[in-house]
């Protein structure tokens, strides 16, 4: 399927009623490069890079000085970047990404259902979930947050240099300077984790009754350090090129590997089969992306005639800051597992199942940020801070509406969800009641989780080292640890979930406070040379906008709970409760003037209309 960016934008940058027009916008099956007129030899007729840049910035009148005088255009212009992407383009990109991500999440739900059915919520499952900490950390550090926060701005800068007519190919130079070194680092860390598996398990869950099983699983899951690292690198490079299908499909491949491993090897190897599935799924994550990335690099090589440039490396400070932030964020899991390991068997499992279901709204809410993060990074690389700020504030409004709608549904229909999804085989009604209660408490922190995901991008999209996000996350970890230690004795897993929600909410507030007007009080400047340390936001406007969907969620939640509880069948109760929550939330949000709801409706309209016909091949 090929989706072509719309060329029709309004003067205010909002196209088709969706997101503002942003630079870049090519994608293959993913979200494709706009069609251009072709000459008699079949080659695209391209515009010169300087002219295309003026169109992107939108503020360079005829005869104005070059905003990048340090790099004069070459005599033979390179292949320019694609035209600006309209809001319809971004909406279609987000829709495609969301569809594949939802498919991956549903397969993740199937994975958790298979784990619950085959192994229940007892000693064996607890042992595997301790080993599961390794891929959870690797996903956050290498795919979702850490590596992406460092690489996407770096690739965006390289693409901006290419559009300005830099000699050689800055993108290939970046790959040559970073991929070999990072690959060696991935292998070294993976071997180290496997060798230190007994110490890792002892540190994560000292109260486990059977550490040997957890150690075996940890050694198997340690392979994901290498595979996730390579998968994260491919994802960052492809997203910077505005190619989203292959990166969005990685969790479909990953969960397929785990589910297959459990059903094929589960009877013979027990819960170790799930760890084998993790290893296989990690390799599949790389395999689904390599063809697309290789095609991008080869195509550019053909266009430039193989012209080379000196390899360029990432700054050590940038990598350190993003990895430290991601490490601190994932440390919440460590705190939870450490505290829950001292409770009766099954506590870790109940927390895990509750988190996996409750986090689905958060994953959906961040889909738009997955698409727009390269847009924000590219805008800052081109000096357009105003456009970056507008994009981030729109993302906050839309993501907050999506996650609050999901939170209301999760809290209202938690018992029906858990019973329908998990109550079969070794997973009993007692496990359902415990997991549903934990999920309701855990869901209180979903808004904070989403805000952290959006706001972190406003710091790291600049391509500069910033220690502030890691410091904010450290504050949240202190709150989580302190409250968890106080609450675990009287309230058990409920106290742990409440501490998690409180800690991440504190982090979100600290991150939001840091964006107020920019770190140095600098006003947004269009086309400015200086890149700010974060995207400056108008915090009072952000808080005012967030209050509208919060109010709608507070009313929609009890309404959905009342309606859902009137049905004995969990499927009917879930359907009725979710429908009630959605109806009440959307109507109230619309009445209160929530920008995110209106934006979501316009984006769906933009994404689904005028889809081009693509003949099968």
Residues 65-76 pLDDT 10s: 433 343 444 433
Q: Give the model's pLDDT for residue 195.
A: 93
How many Å apart are CA 325 and CA 150, to the nearest integer? Answer: 11
**Cβ atoms within 10 Å, residue 72:** 11
Per-residue burial over 344-358, b = 16 or more CB atoms within 10 Å of its CB, e = otherwise: ebbbbbbbbbbbbbb
Can you spell out the DSSP letters for 229-278? HHHHHHHHHHHHTT--HHHHTHHHHHHHHHHHHHHHHHHHHTTHHHHHHH
Considering only CA atoms, which of 326, 330, 328 is closest in space to residue 460?
A: 326
Question: CB neighbours of 97 closer than 8 A, spacing ≥ 6?
Answer: 244, 245, 247, 248, 367, 370, 371
pTM of the model: 0.67
**What would the pLDDT profile of 194-211 be if each residue is shown by its tens digit?**
999 999 888 887 777 778
Q: Give the model's pLDDT for residue 560.
A: 95
Considering only CA atoms, which of 424, 274, 281, 447 is closest in space to residue 359?
A: 447
The CA–CA distances, whole Å, from 530 to 160, 219, 388, 518, 522 equal 15, 46, 14, 12, 10
**Cβ atoms within 10 Å, residue 530:** 10
Whether 265 and 119 have beta carbons less than 8 Å apart is answered as no
Q: Give the model's pLDDT for residue 315.
A: 64
Residue at token pair 């790959």:
175
Whether 485 and 500 have beta carbons less than 8 Å apart is answered as no
Q: Give the model's pLDDT for residue 310.
A: 60
Q: Give the model's pLDDT for residue 373.
A: 82
Residue at token pair 């007692």:
430
**Cβ atoms within 10 Å, residue 177:** 17
Whether 366 and 449 have beta carbons less than 8 Å apart is answered as no
Q: Between the CA atoms of 403, 408, 414 and 420, what dihedral angle is there, to the nearest 10 degrees?
A: -70
Question: CB neighbours of 269 closer than 8 A, spacing ≥ 6?
Answer: 276
Give 10-residue mean pLDDT values along the chain (617 residues): 38 37 38 39 41 35 39 40 52 75 84 83 81 86 80 83 74 86 93 92 79 90 93 89 86 93 87 91 94 77 50 69 81 81 77 81 78 80 83 90 93 92 81 89 92 88 80 92 90 90 94 72 43 79 92 95 92 95 94 82 59 39
Phi and psi at 26, nearest 5°, equal -110, 150
Question: CB neighbours of 547 closer than 8 A, spacing ≥ 6?
Answer: none
């Amino acid at each position: 399927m090929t989706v072509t960016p719309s060329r029709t934008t309004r003067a205010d940058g909002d196209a088709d009623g969706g997101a503002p027009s942003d630079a870049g916008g090519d994608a293959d099956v993913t979200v494709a490069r706009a069609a251009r007129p072709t000459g008699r030899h079949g080659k695209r007729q391209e515009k010169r890079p300087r002219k295309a840049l003026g169109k992107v910035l939108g503020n360079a009148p005829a005869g104005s000085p070059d905003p990048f005088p340090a790099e004069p255009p070459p005599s033979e212009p390179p292949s320019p970047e694609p035209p600006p992407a309209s809001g319809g383009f971004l909406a279609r990109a987000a829709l495609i990404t969301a569809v594949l991500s939802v498919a991956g999440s549903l397969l993740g739900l199937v994975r958790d259902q298979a784990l619950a059915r085959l192994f229940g919520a007892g000693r064996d499952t607890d042992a595997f979930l301790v080993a599961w900490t390794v891929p959870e950390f690797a996903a956050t550090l290498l795919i979702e947050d850490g590596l992406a926060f460092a690489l996407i701005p770096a690739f965006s800068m390289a693409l901006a240099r290419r559009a300005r007519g830099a000699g050689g190919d800055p993108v290939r130079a970046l790959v040559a300077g970073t991929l070999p070194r990072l690959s060696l680092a991935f292998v070294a860390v993976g071997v180290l984790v496997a060798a230190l598996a007994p110490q890792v398990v002892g540190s994560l869950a000292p109260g486990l009754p059977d550490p040997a099983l957890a150690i075996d699983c940890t050694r198997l899951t340690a392979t994901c350090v290498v595979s996730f690292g390579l998968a994260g690198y491919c994802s960052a490079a492809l997203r910077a090129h505005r190619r989203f299908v292959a990166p969005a499909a990685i969790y479909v491949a990953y969960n397929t590997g785990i589910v297959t491993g459990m059903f094929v090897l589960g009877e013979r190897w027990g819960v170790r089969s799930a760890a084998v599935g993790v290893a296989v799924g990690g390799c599949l994550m790389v395999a689904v992306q390599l063809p697309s990335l290789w095609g991008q690099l080869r195509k550019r090589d053909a266009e430039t005639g193989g012209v080379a440039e000196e390899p360029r490396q990432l700054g050590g400070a940038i990598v350190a800051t993003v990895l430290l932030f991601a490490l601190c964020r994932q440390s919440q899991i460590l705190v939870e597992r450490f505290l829950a390991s001292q409770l009766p068997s099954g506590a870790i499992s109940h927390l895990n199942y509750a988190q996996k279901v409750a986090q689905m709204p958060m994953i959906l809410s961040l889909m738009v940020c997955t698409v727009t993060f390269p847009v924000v990074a590219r805008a800052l690389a081109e000096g357009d801070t105003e456009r970056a700020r507008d994009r981030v504030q729109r993302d906050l409004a839309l993501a907050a509406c999506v996650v609050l709608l999901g939170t209301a549904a999760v809290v209202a229909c938690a018992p029906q969800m858990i019973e329908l999804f998990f109550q079969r085989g070794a997973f009993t009604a007692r496990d359902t009641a415990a997991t549903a209660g934990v999920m309701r408490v855990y869901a209180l922190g979903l808004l904070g989780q989403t805000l952290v995901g959006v706001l972190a991008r406003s710091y790291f999209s600049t391509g500069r080292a910033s220690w502030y996000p890691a410091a904010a996350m450290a504050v949240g970890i202190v709150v989580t640890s302190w409250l968890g230690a106080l609450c675990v004795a009287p309230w058990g897993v409920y106290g742990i979930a409440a501490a998690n929600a409180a800690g991440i909410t504190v982090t979100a507030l600290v991150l939001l406070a840091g964006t107020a007007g920019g770190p140095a009080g600098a006003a947004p400047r269009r086309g400015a040379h200086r890149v700010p340390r974060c995207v400056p936001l108008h915090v009072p406007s952000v808080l005012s906008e967030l209050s509208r969907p919060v109010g709608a969620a507070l009313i929609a939640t009890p309404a959905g709970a009342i309606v859902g509880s009137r049905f004995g069948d969990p499927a009917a109760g879930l359907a009725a409760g979710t429908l009630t929550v959605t109806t009440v939330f959307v109507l109230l949000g619309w009445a209160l003037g929530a920008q995110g709801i209106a934006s979501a409706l316009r984006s769906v309209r933009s994404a689904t209309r005028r889809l081009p016909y693509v003949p099968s091949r």
